[in-house]
Structure 1
Amino acid sequence: MISLRANIEEYKLPAYSLIDFRSLILILLFLIFLPFSAVSQSRQELEKQRVKLQNEIKEINTLLFQSQKKEKTLLSDLSDIVQRIGVRTKLINTINEETNQLNIEIKENERQVRLLEERLEILKKDYANMVVQSYKSKTKNSRLMFLLSSESFLQAYKRLDYLKQYASYRARQGEEIKIETVKLENLTDYLVETRNEKEELIAINLKEKDSISEEKKSREGLVKSVKNKEKKYIAQINKKQKEEREIDAKVQKLIAEAIAKSNKESNVKSSGFALTPEAVALERDFISNKGKLPSPVERGVIVRRYGKQSHPTLKGITIESNGIFYATEKDANARVIFDGKVLAIQVLPGKKKAILVQHGNYISVYKNLDNVTVQKGDLVSTKQQLGKIHTDKSTGKTILAFVLFKEIHRQNPEEWVYKN
């Protein structure tokens, strides 16, 4: 009787020991999963960035590399390839970071697999010992005899409770082994999947490195060709910059005249337009959408950003951009970025046109259009088409120049338009 009680108590002791071990494992897993979840989130962001850069390269290939290589497009071709090399370099760096994150994740997974394997081994040994001890106890004394040999009813009740606890503990051990086995199988499968994903990234990275090596060779050849006629290209750039400044000055003058006219008609003095309550509300909505406004082209690649910047291919040459220049597909239409009213339609050199749309005291300008589908005074709604964008016959490129003003003061459109 004393021997059997000792056996029962012996079975209970491992239970307390196992609880302590289980708590330790849970703490370890918590500490492991805490940085792991942060890594996983960062990897998701990297994956999103990688897909974005891959799509950008596809757009560059489609929208910028349409013309045949000839002397009059050499500078443009060189600029295009420099842009593609820049994006591809970012892609390679992103893939490298993503691969590093995968390495961290794989190491964490491997550590968790080892922990689960050790835990499962302990559970199985504990369960096997329990089964053996249970078999031995059954051969020495039956459960009935164990209960009948009790000295009192209370003792018999306690012995029956011990037996129930023991049976319940054995059942829990069996279930826990099943659960841990499933966990281990799932984690092992995920580890295999992660390793495969790493191998795919390495393959993509090698392909991108091969591509960028070829592009750099092509760039070197173009640089030599451009260098031979550098003075000619610099003169062309300066002439183009002068034309852009003249056009922007005319746009500013046109806006200033419109402001003066609205103030005169309303008999007020202000640096901005005399706005109706409806126009004030529209401007408020426009400002609240800063950073979320749609692009003025449905599909496009930015080929020149806002502000002063070094020329992408000619060293020592600085260009100034009053807006964003988008390369888009042939026969594409410009679209308005927000609800507003057509303030003016301006004719540019070469019979191209610019449309000015008023959004309260903000004016969005869409330049380099062949024809327009709206008239002065028309009310337009977000993403409404304004006109077809001009395609240059020499380069084969379709470029929209997009400028944004607050009254007569230029704004950086990149701060207002949503970045995909």
Structure 2
Amino acid sequence: MPAKSKHWLLVVLVAAWLGVPAPSGDAQAQQRQRTSSTRRRGTAPKSKAQLERERRATLRRIRETSRILEQTQRQKEASLGQLNALKEKLTVQQGVIRNISSELRYIETDVQQTEQQVQQTRQSLEQLKAEYGRLIYSASKTANSYNRIMFLFAAKSFNQFMLRLRYIRQYAEVRKAQAAQIAGTQQRLSQQLTGLQTKKQEKGSLLNTQVAEKNNLLTMKTQQDQVVTKLSQQEQNLREELAKRQLAVSRLDNLIAERVREEIARAARVAAARAAARAAARERAARAAAAAGRASDAPSRTYSDASPEEAAPTRTDRVTLTPETAELSSSFADNRGRLLWPVSKGFISQRFGRHNHPVLKNVVVENRGIDIQTSAGEPVRAIFDGKVLTVANVPGMNNIVMIQHGEYFTVYAKLRGVSVSEGQIVKMRQPIGTVYTDPDGTSEVQFQVWRNSANLNPENWIGRR
């Protein structure tokens, strides 16, 4: 047998005699699984933090709705405002419960992963202890100096002697490393068990919270049923209120349509006057040039020489925009879906379009905008820069403010007081009045968005809360 082959055979036999184990495929797979789990745990807290933020936001909405509900409950009689507040609170409460369920699923998954990690760590610890035991047993065979010396001098060559000497030194280092690894694994196991206990306690606390929130939901459903029953007994009053509201809505629609028509006509007159003034100025310049003997150099004016504003026919279906109002209009459109709410707190109590009456059967109501129920005395603010086009009072809608944003218009109705005047330039977030509170204790603002004569859904324009 060649000397090189004998050398490698000797190394293999020595390693086998000492019982030094090589990392098994199972151990390597467990390590990869632990690494993968660690990476997953590194991204998990972001999802949990997001759930917690959503829960805090939902609880804040519940507190706001509860305050609004309390104001409507101060009156002895049930009202639609009270019913709307209860519906909103129920909706938000259901969101809280869904959020808690998501958190529970997250924690349950985390607990299962931690339990698996604990089991894998225990297996690794048992394997390390067994390996360490084999090392100790092998070391006992060469426990005294005589055996180690005999092992060294039994070498058949100097190279073999050096290999055995290096092996003895490395063997001691392996034992120390193995002991340190066992200690580290035990510490990791202890930390995992502590974390597992914390997660189980968190899960138990969240389960108790979920039960409490479900009980609150049942209580609110009972209150809602009671209010619906009381309102059903007031059918005649509800029909009278609905008739008054429809009349007020019709008056407001007529006012908005009239103001939009007036603004379209006014803008057209201004554009025509500007075009005529520019045409007259050019005509005077041409005559002056002709009188100075330079008539041949002055180009004859044709229709194509007119500016785009002059060349365009006068529109009767939309506002004729100047460069400034066109920029404002474009900016308003660019902020679609991100515009402010007209009030800083509250909820949508009646949505845009046609929908069934909340109590009266087979009765359909139509809303040109959205009704936002809020707290008494809440300031109403402009959602975007613009010019106050109209300040008026409409019976059934109280004070209204209409603001122009180029070819867009926003309408704020059901105001108690108004703090702006017609023609005033307002900025975004600027207060324009305060919300009106009716005798039932309901504080509600009616908000509409128009583009020229087209009625738009405000929910598509304001941001999410």
TM-score normalised by L of structure 2:
0.78
Which amino acid in the other structure matches residue 422 of structure 2?
K
Q: Tell me how many residue pairs correspond in the alignment.
A: 417
The 10-residue stretch of structure 1 (383-392 or 351-360) with the greater mean CA deviation from structure 2:
351-360
Q: How does 1:138-157 map to 2 (within 5 A)?
A: 138-139=143-144, 146-147=151-152, 150-157=155-162
Q: 1:279 aligns with which of 313, 321, 325?
A: 325
Residue equivalent to 1:189: 194
Gaps of 5+ in 2: 1-8, 273-308
What's the CA shift for 1:258?
0.8
Tell me if the contact between 2:391 and 2:400 (Cα under 8 Å) persists in the aligned partners: yes
CA distance in 2, matches of 1:212, 1:321: 29
Residue equivalent to 1:245: 250
Pair 370,225 (structure 1): closer, same or farther in 2 beyond 3 Å: closer
The 10-residue stretch of structure 1 (166-175 or 59-68) with the greater mean CA deviation from structure 2:
166-175
Residue equivalent to 2:335: 289
Which amino acid in the other structure matches residue 446 of structure 2?
A
Residue equivalent to 2:344: 298
* Cα offsets for 1:211-245 (capped at 9, x unmatched): 23333333333333222232331332233133223
CA distance in 2, matches of 1:408, 1:61: 38
Residue equivalent to 2:29: 24
Residue equivalent to 2:393: 347
Which amino acid in the other structure matches residue 409 of structure 1?
A
- In our comparison, the structure showing a higher alpha carbon Rg is 2
What's the CA shift for 1:43?
4.9
CA distance in 1, matches of 2:361, 2:18: 82
Q: How does 1:153-302 map to 2 (within 5 A)?
A: 153-267=158-272, 269-270=314-315, 271-302=317-348
What's the CA shift for 1:172?
3.8
Aligned Cα RMSD in Å? 3.2
What's the CA shift for 1:411?
1.9
What's the CA shift for 1:206?
1.9
Tell me if the contact between 2:75 and 2:441 (Cα under 8 Å) persists in the aligned partners: no
Which amino acid in the other structure matches residue 110 of structure 2?
E
Are residue 324 (structure 1) and residue 370 (structure 2) matched?
A: yes
Residue equivalent to 1:404: 449
What's the CA shift for 1:313?
3.2
* Cα offsets for 1:348-392 (capped at 9, x unmatched): 226832222222322222212222222223322221111122122
Pair 152,91 (structure 1): closer, same or farther in 2 beyond 3 Å: same
Are residue 88 (structure 1) and residue 96 (structure 2) matched?
A: no
CA distance in 2, matches of 1:122, 1:103: 29
* Cα offsets for 1:67-119 (capped at 9, x unmatched): 34656543433333233233323333433343233323322221222112212
Secondary structure of the residue that 1:207 maps to in structure 2? Answer: helix
Question: Sequence identity of aligned pairs in percent?
Answer: 27
Residue equivalent to 2:302: none
Secondary structure of the residue that 1:14 maps to in structure 2? Answer: coil
TM-score normalised by L of structure 1:
0.86
Tell me if the contact between 1:4 and 1:137 (Cα under 8 Å) persists in the aligned partners: no
Which amino acid in the other structure matches residue 344 of structure 1?
T
Secondary structure of the residue that 2:359 maps to in structure 1? Answer: coil
